[in-house]
Structure 1
Amino acid sequence: MSQVVVLDGQRRWQQLQVEADKLTNLIRVSRDKLVDLDGKIMKNMSRMTSAETNALISARRIVRALETRLQELNAFLLYRAGNTVEQAEELMRKNLVIPSDPMTTVLDATPIRPLRPSDWKGTLEALFSRVEAKIPIRHAFG
C-alpha cells in the first residue's frame, strides 16, 4: 500500500515538472516576442495607439507574473517535501493575479483581471495579436 502512495506521489511530481516545463516554454516564447517587438516599436511608434501600448504593457505584466509563478513552482519541485505536492498542485490551479507596478500606475494601464491557468497562453496570444496588427512580428506560438 505505501509503495502505491509513493508511486502516486512520484507521478504527481512528474506531472508538476511537465507543467513547469510548459510554463517555462510559454515564458520563453513570450519573452522572444517581446524582444522582437522592442526592436520594431521605435520604427513604428507612429502606428501605435493607446490600445496597442496598453496591450504591450499588459503582456509584459502577465509574463512577469508567470515568471513569479514559475519560481514558486520550482521551489516546490526543488524540495519535494511530502505534503508540498498538494500545495504545488494548488498553486498551478490558482488564478494568476497580475499586480500593478509604478509604471502601470503612471501610464494609467488597464487593470488585468486574474487569469485562469487555461487562459494564460490565449490571453498572451490575443495581446500580441493586437500589437501585431500595427507592427508585424514573427509568429512564435505553436
Structure 2
Amino acid sequence: MGFALRLTGHDRQWAEDVVQETLIKAWRNADKLDRRPAMLRAWLFTVARRIVIDGWRSRSVRPQELEEIESDAVFVSDESDKTVAAMILYEALQGLSPEHREAVQQTYLADRTVNEVAATLGVPPGTVKSRIHHAVRALRKAMRERG
C-alpha cells in the first residue's frame, strides 16, 4: 500500500484501487507466478506500477471533470424550432401534387417500402421512386424558400 501511495501522489482512494487491482491480477495468474518472495514482490510492484501508468495515461486523455455550476436560471426545453419546422414542412407538402404527396407520406411517414407503396397505389415501383425523387427535390426547394 505504501508503494501504491507513493506512485499515486498519496491519493489514498486511487492507491487502494491499485492495490486491489494488483491483487486481483495476482489471484488470476497465481498458477503462473514464481513463488519465491523476491520474484513475487517484484512482479507485484511491476503490475502496480503499470496500473498507475495506465491510470495516468487515461486521465491525461480524458477531459478534466468540472464541478457543475449552479445557476439561478432553470433551462426549459424549447420545442418551438421543431414546431415551426413541422409547420413549414406541412405547408411544403401541401404544395406537392397529390401523387407526389401520397408517395412521400406512404414511404417516409408510414415507413413503407417502395414495393409496398407501389402495390397499394397500383403503379410500378419505378413510378413510386420517380415520384419520391421529384417530391423530395420540390420539398427541398420549398424549405429553402421558406427558411
| Greater relative CO (CA pairs within 8 A, separation 6+) | 1
Rg larger for: 2
- TM-score bracket for this pair, using the shorter chain length: under 0.3
Q: TM-score, normalised by structure 2?
A: 0.25
